[in-house]
Each structure stands twice: as structure tokens, then as C-alpha cells.
Structure 1
Amino acid sequence: MGRKVHPLGFRLGVIRDWQAKWYADTHYAEFLQEDLKLRQAIRSKYADAAISLVEIDRQAKEITVTIHTARPGIVIGRGGQRVDELSSHLEKLIGKRVRLNIQEIRQPELDANLVARTIAEQIQRRIAYRRAMKQSIFRTIQAGAKGIRVSCAGRLGDAEIARRQTMHQGQVPLHTIRADIDYGFTEARTTLGRIGVKVWIYKGEILPEPKELEVEEMPVELAAVKSAEAEPITAVEPEAKPAEPIAVEAAEAVAEVKAEEKPVTKRRRKVAVTTELEEKPEAPAVAKAAEAVAEVKAEKKPAKPARKRSKKAVAAKDTTSEAEATLTEKEEKDATT
């Protein structure tokens, strides 16, 4: 993927602010040179003060310089003596009025520039680069970071061929813009050449604060008028007249009678209906009509035709009749003899 985008410049205007706050139309190059001189002078004079960041803010007649350091005592000095010396030195350097602000860094283990500076100093003191990287990673994670990545490039371990060594722990989401990632870079000057040290530290996500709705303040009289206008006008209902005593007594008697009556269930209703139907006598006209209809149906029924006998049945009947005739003749002969 080639080279990576600078993590601080990628998040400018979203969760990070510019290190120099000023606008110049025609004197841009002049102001930029002044900023570079101020930063170089401060870092060179206080190289051992663990300075991480220098912010510059320009007003009409003066320049405000804010120094973020982990050792404010070195910068301030006894009674602020060194601050006065530094401010006078910077005023002579650029020829303008300079005001200094010193801010202490509470947790230097979570500052990427300071972590990179400590690793570079250890490499310059001939300490093994792997050990320096592991110690810095351990301290940063112990301080509360969610992730860290350290990269060293150069002639590591007095090797003849330069190479790059990277170590990381936790997560470092470089593509997430709301992720608070601090980045630092420095160089270790050794007898065999320079070794570059890069550090990325992930501290967590910075979410936007919820916007509060602005409520306009109104005078009390105007608010009362608006509330009165907003209330809807409802119709006034007439008062209910008390019921007459006679009607009330009659209603109570009807309610008592209804309460005494047992509710008729579905089964009881069916039995009552069937008994009523059985008890009702049929009308004479209906009975006569039913009889007439029955007679007509009986007349209309056709008589069943005689079943046709088969040839076998007819032949069997004829044989039986002949056998009976021969028997009768024999009996008659016997009787005569």
C-alpha cells in the first residue's frame, strides 16, 4: 500500500486542532519562517525538558507560545527566571512581543513524541533496540492506552544492511477518524548513522458532544398571554337536574326485580322452545292438507311389475308338474287294483 497518511493531518478539523493558529494574506512566508525559528530555539535550548508540543497563536501585537512539557520545572526555573530569559531571547530573535504559557503533561507514557524520544535516547546509549521497544510498549499499555505500535528503521544492531523492525500491542485503527491516535517521530544519532523511530498510540474514540437546544427566555406577561391563547375554549355543560323522587323509587324497584330473576341459559331457552312447540295443537286445515298430500303420493306410486322368470326356472317347474302327475296316476292305479 506504499506510504501511510499522517495520522495527525488526517484528523485535523475533526478531533484535532492546528498547532499554529493564525491567518496571513500577504505575510504568509514571513510568519511561517518565524514559527520555525521559535520552535527550533525552544527545543534546542531545552533539549532535556521533555517538550512534546509547541503551539503558536498570533494576535495583533503579540505572539502567544504554549509549551507542553513533562518537566515544567526545568522550563520555568526558580521563581520563573528561565521563562523570562526565554521570552526575551525569542523577542530578540523575531523582533516581536512574545508571551509564554507552560502546560504540564500529566502522563508522558501516553504521549507519542515523548515515547519516541525515550526509545531514541536508549538506542543512542547502546541499549538493545528490542529491549527499548518492549519496555516502552509495556509502560504505555500499563498507563491506559488501548494500543501502540513502534517502528524502528536503520542499521539496527550494528548491521551492515539497514532494515525495519516493528512491534505492536492492542489495536491501532488508523482508518477510523474519530479514533484518538497520537503520532510521534524522532531520530537516534548513532556512530553508524541515524535510526528513525515512529510511534502510534491509540487512546480511545472521541465522540461528538450532543447539541443542547437553546430555549428562548420570554417575559412573564408575554408567556402568560401565549399560554392563554393556546388553551382551547370548551363549551360549558349545563348542570344535571336532580331526578324526581317517584322516578327514582320506580327505577330502584325495577332493578330489584331484575336482580331476583334468574338468567335464562341457552339450554333452558332450547327446552322452553321445544315444549311450546309440542303443546301447540295443529290447526285442522293444516292436518287436512297433510292427509291429502299423503293420499296423492300413495296414488302416484306405480305398481311393481311381476318379475320375469328365467328359462331354467320354467323348465324346472314343468318337470316338477309332470312328476307330480305321474305319481298321482300311479296312486290311482294302485287304488283300483
Structure 2
Amino acid sequence: MGNKTSAIGVRLSITNNWEDSVYFRSKDYSEYLNMSYKLKTYLINCYKQHGLIKVNIKQERYFYKVVLEVEDSRYFLQVIKGRINSLNAMLKKLFWSDIKIVVKQIDNPICHPLVIAYKLINETSDIALKTNVKQIANSLIGVSIVGLKVRYAGRINGSDIAQTIWHIEGRVPLQTLTADIRYASVSIKTNYGICTIKVWVCMKDS
């Protein structure tokens, strides 16, 4: 099961919940998925460098609530101050007319798998990657997390054949459904093709 099953999907209603909460008729669902993907991609591309981690969509009674999960809400609001009205108007024009934007700071941002993936995203050397993974793991394991696992796949350093690198620090029990596992996957374009970084984080029991 472990690596071949989504660490998020298999734990729905156990330790994880749905990221989006939207209701559509079957004939309109494909249109929603297309618009949702474009909306999330647009926001991530615009504000990722300012600490935007994830975008969730929740359907309320009379509007769609777009939740922007960020590393530091105070910094993010300072960056987009003065542009929030224009951003809101643009989203209403491009996507849905009844949108409300909410900014939410995530808990323990340094432990979020996407934050860790972005820290490793520029590494193309297996030695440098393993060193950085070990440094991150040593600073977090025992304090906020139990274990960290990273999988890097692609033509590392422009090698002729794609290779896969695994690095595990601590304990990541993927087959234990009650374990709080956070997962993220990020694809990047390099001169030698598309590479992928996958990160599994096992959170410490509260």
C-alpha cells in the first residue's frame, strides 16, 4: 500500500479532511474542475513567492469562499495591501461572480510538506539533496515531526538516465492509517526534462 497509495486520500475522515467542499450536478462537475484548476494555478503562480502555500475552495450558501493558506498571514496581507480589491474583482470576472477571499495562516509552516519541497526544489545533485534533507529533518524531528521522507525523480545533474533518490529520516509509517501523514508533490521543469519532488511528513502526536 505505502508509496502507491495517496497518503491523503486513504486517510480521509480519519486524520485528514477534504481540501475542497463544493457541490455540483454531475453535468456541471467537469466545468467546475476546469475552472477550479485554473483559479488555483493562477493564484499560486502569482503569489507563491510571497508565501502562498495552498488554495482551497469552500462552497457557502450564497458564495464560494477561496481560502488562501499562507506561511505568514501578516506579511502576505502587507504584500497584497491595496491590491486585494482589484484581485477580488479580477477573480470575479475570470471565474465566479460570487467569490469571497479569506487569508489563513497554516499551523507549523516549517513542517508543511510543500514548504519543505520548495526548499529542495532547486537542488539537482543527489549529494546536496540528501544533505539538505538531513539538515531539515534534524531540525524538526523530535520537536514538531516524527519522520520525514523525500523522493526525488528525474535526470539529476543532466544524467543520461533518469534516476530516483529516496531519503528517509525518522519514522514514516505509511501503512498506519491513524498516523498523521502530510504529503505533497511538486513538479519542476529543468533543462533536462521534468523532475518531481515528493515529500511525506509524519507529524508528532499532540
Taking the TM superposition and a 5 Å limit, the aligned residue runs for 1:115-154 are: 115-120=116-121, 122-123=122-123, 128-141=128-141, 143-154=143-154
CA RMSD between the two structures:
2.6
The 8 Å contact of residues 51 and 76 in structure 2, kept in 1 or not, is answered as no
Q: Taking every aligned residue pair, what percent have the same amino acid on both sides? A: 25
Stretches of 4+ moved more than 4 A in 1? none
CA shift for structure 1 position 98: 1.1
Q: Which sections of structure 2, spanning at least 5 residues, go unmatched?
A: none
What SS does the aligned partner of 1:137 have? helix
Question: 1:8 and 1:101 mapped to 2: Cα distance?
Answer: 23
How many residue pairs end up in the alignment? 205
Equivalent AA in structure 1 for residue 178 of structure 2: R
Cα distance per residue 1:40-66 (max 9 Å; x no partner): 111111120232221111134311011
Flag the 1:37–1:109 CA change in 2: closer, same or farther, 3 A.
Answer: same
Q: Which sections of structure 1, spanning at least 5 residues, go unmatched?
A: 207-337
1:47 matches 2:48: yes
Q: Show the counterpart of 1:84.
A: 85
Q: Show the counterpart of 1:185.
A: 185
Q: Show the counterpart of 2:35.
A: 34
Q: Highest Rg: 1 or 2?
A: 1
Question: 1:143 and 1:50 mapped to 2: Cα distance?
Answer: 23
More strand by share: 2
The 8 Å contact of residues 77 and 83 in structure 1, kept in 2 or not, is answered as no
Taking the TM superposition and a 5 Å limit, the aligned residue runs for 1:179-218 are: 179-205=179-205
Flag the 1:92–1:77 CA change in 2: closer, same or farther, 3 A.
Answer: farther
CA shift for structure 1 position 179: 0.8
1:20 matches 2:7: no
Question: 1:166 and 1:95 mapped to 2: Cα distance?
Answer: 42
Q: Show the counterpart of 1:8.
A: 8
TM-score normalised over the length of structure 2: 0.87
Flag the 1:95–1:170 CA change in 2: closer, same or farther, 3 A.
Answer: closer
1:160 matches 2:127: no
Equivalent AA in structure 2 for residue 36 of structure 1: Y
CA shift for structure 1 position 89: 1.6
